[in-house]
Each structure stands twice: as structure tokens, then as C-alpha cells.
Amino acid sequence: MFKNKWTYLGFFILGVFLVCAIFAPYLAPEDPYQISLVKQLALPSGDEILGRDRNGGDIFSRLLFGARISLVISVVVVAVSGLIGITLGLISGYYGGWIDTVLMRMVDILLAFPPLLLAIALVAVLGPSLSNIVIALIVLGWVPFARLVRGQVLSLKQRNYILAAKTSGQADVRIMFVHILPNIISTVIVQATFALASVIISESSLSFLGLGAPPGTPSWGAMLSEGKRVILDAPHVSIFPGLAIMLVVIGFNFLGDGLRDRFDPKTNRL
Amino acid sequence: MVAYIVRRLFLLIFVLFGVVTLVFFLIHLIPGDPVDIMLGDYAVIADKNELRHDLGLDQPLYQQYYRYLSGVLQGDLGISVHSRKPVLDEILERIPASAELMWGSMTIAFLISFPLGILSAIKPYGFIDSFSMLVAFIGVAMPNFWLGPLLIILFAIQLDWLPVNERGGLENLILPAITLGTAMAAMLSRMIRSSLIDVLGEDFIQNARAKGLKEHKVIIKHGLRNALIPVITIIGLQIGVLLSGAIITESIFDWPGLGSLLLDGINNRNYPLVQGCILVISTIYVIVNLITDISYAWVDPRVRLV
Amino acid sequence: MTPLLEVKHLSIDFKLNDQIIPILKDISFTLNKGETLGIVGESGSGKTVTVQSILRLIPKPPLYRISGEIWFKQQDLLQLPLSDLRRIRGQKIAYIFQEPMTALNPVLTIGEQISEMLKEHQKIKGSDLKEKVIELLYETGIPSPELRVNNYPHELSGGMRQRAMIAMALSCDPEILLADEPTTALDVTIQAQILDLFQKIARDRGMAVIFVTHDLSVIAEIANQVLVMKSGTIMDYGDIFTVFDHPTSDYTKQLLAFI
């Protein structure tokens, strides 16, 4: 089904990620919030496979629960921003005119900020918390979807079957959802896959900077932030959360590349 | 070409206007009273009122906006709440360090991506290509807040070759520059590779060979000059990635640049400072994009001479 | 008289999608000094491949296997080391591509593209260089050559681009000109002009020309010898009057019926 073998590796990695996230409470040997003042910064060993952090928390358990956080946040952000972006892109591309102009100017302004900077600003003023991260990432996240969909709509608008549907009196909304949307859904799916990876990195970055959840939350980014503080004494704390992030991102990238090749009529010749 | 530049400048002004407006509104997004948050619970009411007045928060919204806008146009970005120095001064102090970091990471990015990208394009699917694609893939996926600490562990702790914190000589710049530059190197090498592969498939490349030119001339003079044109456009975007990535990198290495100033401002609830930093960083980005857009139009004679 | 170019038993296989496909099957022909040989056939007949293989311009994929000999001045071009072959390319044997818009580098002026050959092969420099380039443009019928030297390819019309390509090919005084369908991408009115140009330069410079086309009427106009190809094999080969009056293959007869 997929030409590229690496895509299956992507599926595998993401499968492991999903399992860890969903079944964290059953897989984790310890409570991720549990503190142990005795075993601080313990190295990997029998009792704690990946070692312990500054508060004595078991890194392995915290990683598993961190997977949950990453999964939930990325899915929520991509789903909501995707919906907003697709809708706005459809309307803007289909109707054109002042709606399109207004939207494109808004996009220009949002894109004038370096990526993540605006998210940092928003979280900074709204107050550091995971839900504010979600809000900030949604505010930025709809833009790539809107642009993608708008571009596709613009090129499809002139096709004959769309013009035929219009002249036969079909309602605009119907045309958009029945005729246009199915043709662009595959590119949107590919975009969403890469967006999931991007959100995971953004959330971890923001948590790393201390703009995420309260201290002690097992977000992977926050774990790296704590790790950095003790890096001279306990380097092992920094290694595993980052590895987790990287592997998940690679997994999404493999999947996204595979999907993209699969859907592209040019590369999908059998 | 001139018409293009003029249009682009109009867009620039519009966008900058939007940026300033957005930044202005930031302080009003704060849930609760900004002054309460900034001074904390134990502050005296008189002090709070004074701060409120200094920041203009007791005036109607449109007046505040006008005040902010005219201030910005004259170079007045407000006063830092904690140091009582003008925000602009604090920012300007930090610019050399940020510039050094940016320059260092861009150098590393170019040094890695150009040879890798070019060699990969010359022999696609060969050994160097597979190797560099792997490296690029990992480079894109590896978050810089992981790479940084890893590099610290390896080079500063285990091997004790390089110093870690603070700015200083060249050896202090290496680790932060590598941390920041790797993502850009990864993206750039893939872009150069695919652009050059496309160009090398064109007829005029075969024509150059048919003319008896030596192969390196064919690749560089004919291939690269065309292949780099689309690459220019993404360099602008990559600089944006560098600008925001720098915030994280400066935090990892205690680098005294704009990024850590911004973070200090956030942690101290120093909102005028935060607004000022965001404004300056975004303006730099907007101008960089203007420059790359114009460069692109200038470098491609098909666009320049229309 | 010894032939200028001798192609002996040229066979070429391509590898496409893991399949090995024979493209040329045992092609042999000769070219004498001052002669114009027309190679005619439909698309896919292998005529472009034949001519490109003389200068070994076919890229490794899809090129899989090449056998035979191509003799030029006591040297087998197929066995020559690349560095020696480069000295022949452009300088002794020049190639003109079919589509001038894609064969010219869009970011260099045509002056630059013509002069780089002169710089490479004949080591001409400076103002001599500029003069020679303008001369060449003039010879190929480009109006106001002093201005055109600084033009980019997209600033010229199709006909002028082809003339610029021809000027490029002639720059180092080659002995053989390989022209791959040079008029196919042009307007009919321009085609006639370019054909005249070919005849003129071949005559003035005493060059041998191999002219590839799918149009038999073009061959009738300018060629002395003709080679008819189909599916990688030779259908007819010989003096133009002989082949036209007494074609040996049915295929040629069919082609002639259409003139």
C-alpha cells in the first residue's frame, strides 16, 4: 500500500506512542506526580528503568504520562485549528472579494511574526498553563490550513464540473462540501499529519520555556527544562524526554511523507 | 521591478501597522489587572495608581493606542518596569549578542547545507545523498532544546573541550551556533538538493555539456545559479525560525541576547519590556522578508526585467 | 575521400522502470565533408538518440548499454576519455537543441553564453571576445547584435533564440553541426528563414551537417544524403535522389506519399 518502507516505521512509532498515551495509567510503574526525596536524580537501574529526576519522580512513568499530554494537546489543536482553517479557506477561496482580501491581510499580519514568537507572547500575557498553550497554538495554527485550502479552492474553482454545478443551480454550501472538499481532503490530511508533529514541538518548546503547565507536570518539554537545570550533575534526566519528542516527530514525518506520496497521482504510479 | 518594490513597500507598511496594533493589544489581553500582576499583592495602592498612570492604563483605549503608536514611531517603546530604563535602550544593549548568535548559526547552516545539498544533487540516491537525507531528517525532527543539552553533555562535560555559559570568544559561540543552526542546515540542504536536481534535469545543462564545458562549470555556473533562486525565498523564512529558535537557545546557554531579555521580561511580568522585544524582533523579521523578496526579484532576470 | 564521421554498428539499450529496452539496433552511416545528412523518422524512431550519442550526451539513467564505434579523425568517440571528448564538444562537433527556450540558461545573457565557449576552447578574451560574439550574431541574422548581446533569453523571440543557439554552435568553427529538429518549435514562416540560414552557413563554412527532423519536405530542401529511421533501425539510407525516386522500404514509400 505504501511505496516507501519507512512509512511503516512511522506507523509503528506512532502506534507505540498511542499505546503509551492511552494506557499510561496501566503501564506506568509509579504515579508521575509522586515525589521521593530520598531517590533524587537516581540513575537508571532496576527500580527506575530510566532513572529519576530532581524530585525523585520516575522518569519512565512521567514519560508515559507526558505522551498523554502531547497526544491530547496536538490532537485538540490540530482538530480545532484545522476546522477553523478549512472553513475560512473554503469561504475565502470560493467567494473571493472582500472576504478574501480581509482574510489574506489577517494572514499577512499573523505571518509577520516569527513562528512561535506570537505564541510565546500570547501565553505570556494569558498566563502560563497548558490550556493557554492550546489557545495560543490554535490562534496560530489555522493559518497553514486556510492558505492550503484557499489555494486548492482557487485552482479547482475554474474546473468544468464546478461551473456545471453552479449553473445547474446548486447551493454554494453544497458545492463546497460535496464537490470541492472531497478533492482537497487528501492534501489536508497530509498537512494535518505534519501539523501534529509541529504542535508537539511547539508545546514542548513553550513548556521548556516555563510557559506551560505548573512545575511537576510531566510534559516532555517541562521535563527537559528541569533536566537542563541539573545537567551538570545528572545528564540522564535530559536524554529521554528529548528522545521521545524526536522519535514521535520522526514518526509523524515518515507518515506524512508516505501519505503525501500515496495521494499524489504523480508519484503513485504502480 | 520598480512597481513590484513599491507594492511590496506598501504591504510592509500595512503589516508593520498590524504588528504594532497586535502588540499594543497584548497588554489588554491579560486576564485581570495588569498593574496588580506586575506589582504583586503587597504593593501600596498609591504605587499601583502611579504605575497605572505611567503606563497610560487609566486613559480611554483609543487614546492609549494613539499614545503607543506615536511613541513607537519616535522610538519610544516605554520604560522597563523594573530597571526604569527605556525599553529601547535595554533592547539595543542586547542586540550585539543576538547578532553574533544569528551570524554564527547562519554560517554553520550554510557551511553544512551547501556542500551536502550540492553533492547529494550530483549523485542522487548515492552514498552521500542517503547519508545527508538521514542527517537532514534527524536535524529537522530534533528539537533544539534537546540538541543543546546533548551538546553540552558531550562537549562540555564529558570531553571538557568547550565552555558552556556566557558569551566570550569563538569557543563560546560554537555550541549555541550549532544548536541553533542545525535545523536550518537540515531544511536548507534538502531544499538545495531538490532545487538543484530539478535544474540539472533541464535542457540547458545538457547544452552546457554539449558545448564542451568542464563539469564543475556546468554544475556551478549553470546549475547552481538557477537552483539558488528559489532557495533565496526560504532563507527569509528560515531566518524567522532562527529568530524564534534563538529564544530557546539563549535560554539554554545563558546567552545575553534579545531572547533571554524577552524571557526575563515574561518571568518578571515586565510587560512594556515584553511588548518592546516582540515588536523589535518582529520588525526585524518583516524587514528580512522584504529584503529576501526583493533579492529574489532582482536575481531572476525573468522577474527583474518584466 | 575518407569520411569525416563514421558510425559503425551503433546499438543502444535503455533501462526504464527496471526493464531493458533496445533503442538503437545496429545503426551505421557515414558523413563526408561538406555533406548535409538528413535523419528522418517519427517520434520514438531513435533519431535524437543517434545524434546525441555522437557526443555521448545521453545521461546514465536511462542509458544502459552502448556498443559500436563512432570514428572521427581517427578516434573512436565512444572510447575517448571524457576530458578529450570535451575538447571535441562544441569545438569540432557542435550540437543544436530542438527547443531554444529550454536550451538556453535563463539567468545568463546570450552574450555570456556564446562567449563562454570562446573562452573555454579558444582562449579569446576582452574586447576581442565581445567583437567576435557580435560578429556571430550578425552572421546568423540577428538585427542590432550590439544590443542583443546583453539580452536574456526570455527577451528574444523564438526565431531569434534559435539564431542565437546557432551562433553559439558556430562560435568555435566546428567541422560538424548536429541539429536536432531545430525548426520544429518555430512558426512556419520563421522555419523557412532558419532553413535558409542553415544552408548558407553550411555552404559558407564548408561544414558537414546532420539535420534531424520528422518532416520529409525539409529533408528534400536541404539534404544531400538521407537516413530514414523507424523503431531504432534504418529503413533507408543513401543519396537523396536515389532514396526518393527508388525507396527500398514500404515505410519510406508511405512517408513519401505524404509530401
Q: Does B251 touch chain A (CB under 8 A)?
A: yes
Q: Copy the grid coordinates of residue C165.
A: 543557439
Best residue in C89, C93, C101, C107 to probe B by mutation, most B CBs within 10 Å? C107
Interface size between B and C, measured as CB pairs under 8 A: 77
Q: What are phi and psi for residue A81, nearest 5 degrees?
A: -70, -30
Task: Name the minimum distance, in Å, from the CA of C254 to any CA of chain B.
Answer: 33
Q: How large a percentage of chain B has pLDDT more than 70?
A: 96
Tell me the pLDDT tens digit for each residue of A196-252.
999 999 999 999 998 987 878 888 999 898 888 888 778 888 888 999 999 999 999
Distance CA A144, CA A155 (A): 17
Determine, yes or no, domain membership for A230.
Answer: yes
- Element spanning A191, H or E: helix A181-208
Question: Do the Cβ atoms of C176 and C211 come closer than 8 Å?
Answer: no
Cα Rg of chain A, angstroms: 22
Q: Copy the grid coordinates of residue A241.
A: 524526554
Question: Do the Cβ atoms of A89 and A142 come closer than 8 Å?
Answer: no
Residue of chain C whose alpha carbon sits nearest to that of B202: C102
Question: Do the Cβ atoms of C165 and C104 come closer than 8 Å?
Answer: yes
ipTM associated with this complex: 0.88
What are the helix (H) ranges across B255-305?
A: 258-267, 271-299, 301-304
Chains that touch C (3 or more CB pairs under 8 A): B
Place of cell 557542435: C94
Q: Does C105 touch chain B (CB under 8 A)?
A: yes
Distance CA B11, CA A105 (A): 9
Q: Does B137 touch chain A (CB under 8 A)?
A: yes
Range of the domain at A22: 6-268
Residues of C in contact with B225 (CB under 8 A): 105, 107-108
Across the interface, whether the CB atoms of B203 and C97 are under 8 A apart is answered: yes
Distance CA A10, CA A4 (A): 11
Task: Name the minimum distance, in Å, from the CA of A58 to any CA of chain B.
Answer: 19
Comparing A41-55, B14-28, C238-252, the range with the smallest average pLDDT is A41-55
What average pLDDT does the segment A109-129 reach? 91
Place of cell 533562486: B229
Question: Do the Cβ atoms of A224 and B145 come closer than 8 Å?
Answer: yes
Determine, yes or no, domain membership for A114.
Answer: yes
Q: Does B186 touch chain A (CB under 8 A)?
A: no
In the chain, the amino acid numbered B129 is D
Distance CA C59, CA B267 (A): 61
CATH number (domain holding residue A226): 1.10.3720.10
Across the interface, whether the CB atoms of A117 and B29 are under 8 A apart is answered: no
Residue of chain A whose alpha carbon sits nearest to that of B138: A250
Tell me the pLDDT tens digit for each residue of B168-225.
777 788 889 999 999 999 999 999 999 999 999 999 999 999 999 999 999 999 999 9
Q: What are phi and psi for residue C183, nearest 5 degrees?
A: -110, -5
Across the interface, whether the CB atoms of C105 and B208 are under 8 A apart is answered: yes
Task: Name the minimum distance, in Å, from the CA of C161 to any CA of chain B.
Answer: 13
Question: Do the Cβ atoms of A119 and A206 come closer than 8 Å?
Answer: yes
Determine, yes or no, domain membership for A216.
Answer: yes
Confidence of residue A176 (pLDDT cuts 50, 70, 90): confident
Residue of chain B whose alpha carbon sits nearest to that of A250: B141
Chains that touch A (3 or more CB pairs under 8 A): B
Q: Does B159 touch chain A (CB under 8 A)?
A: no
Determine, yes or no, domain membership for A1.
Answer: no
In the chain, the amino acid numbered A222 is A
For residue B42, CA distances in Å to A41, B46, B302, C149 come to 37, 12, 66, 79
In the chain, the amino acid numbered B73 is L
Tell me the pLDDT tens digit for each residue of B57-82.
888 888 888 888 888 888 888 888 78
Neighbours of A169 (CB within 10 A): 6
What are the helix (H) ranges across chain C?
A: 47-54, 82-88, 100-103, 110-117, 126-139, 145-148, 158-170, 188-205, 216-222, 240-245, 250-257
Tell me the pLDDT tens digit for each residue of B93-147.
999 999 999 999 999 999 999 999 999 999 888 888 988 888 888 888 899 999 9
Cα Rg of chain C, angstroms: 18
Q: Does B296 touch chain C (CB under 8 A)?
A: no
pTM of the predicted protein model: 0.86
What average pLDDT does the segment C183-187 reach? 84
**Average pLDDT across chain A, whole number:** 87
Question: Do the Cβ atoms of B102 and B108 come closer than 8 Å?
Answer: no
Distance CA A120, CA A113 (A): 11
Does residue C187 have a pLDDT over 70?
yes
Half-sphere exposure of B298 (CA within 13 A, CB side): 8
Q: Copy the grid coordinates of residue B272.
A: 512594556
Q: Does C150 touch chain B (CB under 8 A)?
A: no
Of B11, B142, B266, which is closest to A246 when you measure between CB atoms? B142
Across the interface, whether the CB atoms of A114 and B243 are under 8 A apart is answered: yes
Q: Does B263 touch chain A (CB under 8 A)?
A: yes
Across the interface, whether the CB atoms of B203 and C99 are under 8 A apart is answered: yes
Question: Do the Cβ atoms of A209 and A31 come closer than 8 Å?
Answer: no
Distance CA C250, CA C259 (A): 15
For residue B164, CA distances in Å to A199, A231, A240, B214, B255 come to 29, 11, 21, 47, 10
Question: Do the Cβ atoms of A89 and A147 come closer than 8 Å?
Answer: yes
- Strand pairing category for C93-96 and C5-16: unpaired
Please enumerate in sequence order all residues whose Cβ is within 8 A of that of B44, keeping only pairs 6 or more positions apart, or say none: none
Determine, yes or no, domain membership for A14.
Answer: yes
Q: Does A124 touch chain B (CB under 8 A)?
A: yes
Residues of C in contact with B222 (CB under 8 A): 105, 108
- Element spanning B242, H or E: helix B225-253
Please enumerate in sequence order all residues whose Cβ is within 8 A of that of A240, keeping only pairs 6 or more positions apart, or say none: A50, A51, A59, A60, A63
For residue A168, CA distances in Å to A157, A158, A162, A178, C229 come to 15, 15, 10, 14, 53
In the chain, the amino acid numbered B122 is I
Neighbours of C125 (CB within 10 A): 11
Peptide bond into C62 cis (omega under 30): yes
Question: Do the Cβ atoms of B259 and B98 come closer than 8 Å?
Answer: yes
Count the domains in chain A. Answer: 1
What average pLDDT does the segment B250-255 reach? 90
Distance CA B41, CA B50 (A): 15
Q: SS3 for C34?
A: coil
Chains that touch B (3 or more CB pairs under 8 A): A, C
Across the interface, whether the CB atoms of A124 and B248 are under 8 A apart is answered: no
Q: Copy the grid coordinates of residue A67.
A: 505522551
Comparing A20-29, A102-111, B210-219, C66-75, the range with the smallest average pLDDT is A20-29
Does residue C25 have a pLDDT over 50?
yes
Does residue A269 have a pLDDT over 60?
no
Of C91, C105, C108, which is closest to B212 when you measure between CB atoms? C91
Across the interface, whether the CB atoms of B211 and C117 are under 8 A apart is answered: yes
SS3 string, B290-302, reads HHHHHHHHHHCHH
Q: Copy the grid coordinates of residue A154.
A: 482557487
Buried b (16+ CB within 10 A) or exposed e, B57-79: eeeeeeebbebbeeebeeeebbb
Distance CA B142, CA B130 (A): 18
Q: Copy the grid coordinates of residue A224.
A: 527537559
Residues of A in contact with B243 (CB under 8 A): 114, 117
Best residue in B8, B20, B146 to probe A by mutation, most A CBs within 10 Å? B146
Tell me the pLDDT tens digit for each residue of C114-134.
999 888 888 888 888 888 999
Does residue A192 have a pLDDT over 80?
yes
Q: Does C55 touch chain B (CB under 8 A)?
A: yes
Determine, yes or no, domain membership for A155.
Answer: yes
